[in-house]
Each structure stands twice: as structure tokens, then as C-alpha cells.
Amino acid sequence: MIQDLLGIPPQALFGQLLLGLINGSFYALLSLGLAVIFGMLHVINFAHGALYMVGAFVAWLLMIHLGIGYWPALLIAPLVVAAFGVLIERTMLVRIAKMDPLYGLLLTFGLALVIEGVFRHFYGVSGQPYPPPPSLQGGTNLGFMFLPTYRAWVVVASLVVCLGTWYAIERTKLGSYLRAATEKPQLVQAMGINVPALVTLTFAAAVALAGFAGVLAAPMYQVNPLMGSNLIIVVFAVVVIGGMGSILGAVITGFGLGIVEGLTKVFYPEAANIVIFVVMAIVLLVKPQGLFGKA
């Protein structure tokens, strides 16, 4: 029945759709964090990709040096990245908090170069393999396609974490502090809330998401110092398309663009690498604040 959909073998179509969903999983996790950081700190965090890479490296180092496996790493690596985030925010970002956002962009851009440089110095540019945990190896034949278990896990884990983050921000008390402090930080502080601490916590949590994404990526791509810089450019395009304003918008745009990219690979492979940037250009022309952004 679905043998020859539009002249495309279903294996190829669903295979690319899955790949698109996987890419979308990373776009969503990373652009979500960027949107939250921008809302609260007015910083365009160029170090986000580097911190994603750090998450993957922490998982790899835990395995190599301490024999700590994937599941504990999935918790430990984000915490390590969060701690690093606290350090970055407390020692550097806090000093430029009242300056033009351009300073934040330059600072985090420099930071990304430094972090990546350090990892290149110690580990070179060749990728380090990281095996998926035994429970997630193998796959299932669904009839119309073969579904590798690990890839299915990545999509599910990302969706759950994204929706969990959305819930935490939009439906909890702590989230209401965060939303309020994004709008009027001084007034929230005048209510008795320690806004500087809230800002630190927000930054730490958002970069922890990047660290988490890094661990998810480790078994699929090789762990290497440049894995973040390749991804972050696309993620910035995703953020521009989605608009900075909305959490759910970042998630939907992330997954949506992953799928668009996957489908482009099926129907017009030549354009697959640039389709997101084409979409970005169109969105900027038609709705400059982004699909979900507030004007």
C-alpha cells in the first residue's frame, strides 16, 4: 500500500523522517536553553554548543577513567555542565549584566573558542567512540522500516525533557518566578525574591540541558571537540525562526525543522544542508520576530 509513495521507497522516506526527528531532538533541547537564557539574561549564549560538547566529553571521560556508564553519566554530566555554568555566570556574565547584549555575545563566543581549544589541545580532533548502553542496542523491524532502539530513545528522551521543562516553566511556582523575573526583574526582587540567584539557577539549568543533549549524542556521533560548533549554527537559525519569546515555540520549531530537513533529504537532497537557512531568510522577511516570537 505504501510501497511506492510518490515514487520514494518507504524505507528511505521513514529513515529520513527518523533522522529528521533525531536532529530535531537536538535542535529542540538546545534552542530551548538558548531561549530561556536570552529571556532571563539577555545573553545570546554562543558557548551553548561548546557546553553540549563538554557534556558528551564528561560522559566519555567518566567511562574511560572511572568506568561509569551511560545511565549515571546521563545525570552526572548535566550536573557537571551546570556547575560550570554557575562558574561562568557568577564570574563573568554577572559583570556584563547591565551592558549592551553585544558584550554577552562576544564574551560567550570567546568562551566557546577557549573551551573548544582546550579540548582540542588534550584530545585532538579525531572522534572518540562511545558505545550505547547494552539495553539500548539493536533495533526493531517495523515492517516498513528498521528502527534502531537507541535512536527511538533519543527522540523520546528529548521530548520528555522538553515537555518537562515547559511544564516547570509554565505551570510551577518556581516557573512563575522565572517568567515574572524575565519581564520585570527589579519588581520581582522588590517582592523579596533573590533574583540574582534565580538568574544563576536559570543559566545553570539551561546549560545542563545542553550537557544532557551532549550525552544523548555521544553514542550516535563521535565525541569530538568540534561537535558543538557544527550544530550551534543551525540551532541559532532554529532560534531565529522560532522566535526568542516562547518555550513551546522553541520545542515545536526544533522538531519541525528537523523533520523539514529530513524530508528535504528525501525529495531534494541537494538543498538539505541549506533548507533551514532558507526558511530562516523567509521568516525574517515575513515575520522578523520569529514564528512564535512576541513583537
Partner 1 sequence: MLSVRDLTGYYGESHILHGVEFQIAEGEVVTLIGRNGVGKTTTLRAILGLLDRQEGSIRLQGEEILGLRTDRIARKGIGYVPEDRGIFASLTVEENLLLPPVVKPGGLTTEEVYGLFPRLKERRKSQGTKLSGGEQQMLSIARILRTGARLLLMDEPTEGLAPVIVQQIGSIIAELKRKGFTILLVEQNFHFASGVADRHYVMEDGKVVDMIPNDRLEAEREKLQQYLGV
Phi, psi (deg, nearest 5) at residue 186: -65, -40
Q: Which of residues 156-215 bind partner 1 (CB under 8 A)?
A: 173, 176-177, 179-180, 182-184, 186-195
DSSP output for 69-111: -HHHHHHHHHHHHHHHHHHHHHHTGGGGTTS-HHHHHHHHHHH
Whole-number Å distance between alpha carbons of 44 and 38: 6
**Does 222 participate in binding partner 1 (rule CB under 8 A)?**
no
In this structure, which amino acid lies at residue 18?
Answer: L
Nearer to partner 1, 179 or 287 (CB): 179
Nearer to partner 1, 222 or 289 (CB): 289
Nearer to partner 1, 24 or 245 (CB): 245
Whole-number Å distance between alpha carbons of 266 and 270: 10
Query: Closest separation between CB of residue 265 and partner 1, Å?
Result: 37
Query: Closest separation between CB of residue 89 and partner 1, Å?
Result: 17
Query: Closest separation between CB of residue 295 and partner 1, Å?
Result: 13
Nearer to partner 1, 120 or 294 (CB): 294
How many of the chain's residues bind partner 1 (CB under 8 A)?
18
* Residue entry with cell 540574582: 196
Nearer to partner 1, 90 or 179 (CB): 179
Nearer to partner 1, 127 or 175 (CB): 175
DSSP output for 140-205: EE-SSSEEEHHHHHHHHHHHHHHHHHHHHHHHSHHHHHHHHHHH-HHHHHTTT--HHHHHHHHHHH
Query: Closest separation between CB of residue 294 and partner 1, Å?
Result: 9
Query: Closest separation between CB of residue 250 and partner 1, Å?
Result: 15
Query: Closest separation between CB of residue 187 and partner 1, Å?
Result: 5
If one counts every other C-beta atom within 10 angstroms of the C-beta of residue 4, the result is: 9
Q: How far is CA 174 from CA 52, 193, 201, in A?
A: 25, 11, 11
Whole-number Å distance between alpha carbons of 37 and 165: 13
Query: Closest separation between CB of residue 93 and partner 1, Å?
Result: 19
Nearer to partner 1, 180 or 275 (CB): 180
The site string for partner 1 over 34-53 (x = CB under 8 A, - otherwise) reads --------------------
* Positions that interact with partner 1 (CB under 8 A): 173, 176-177, 179-180, 182-184, 186-195
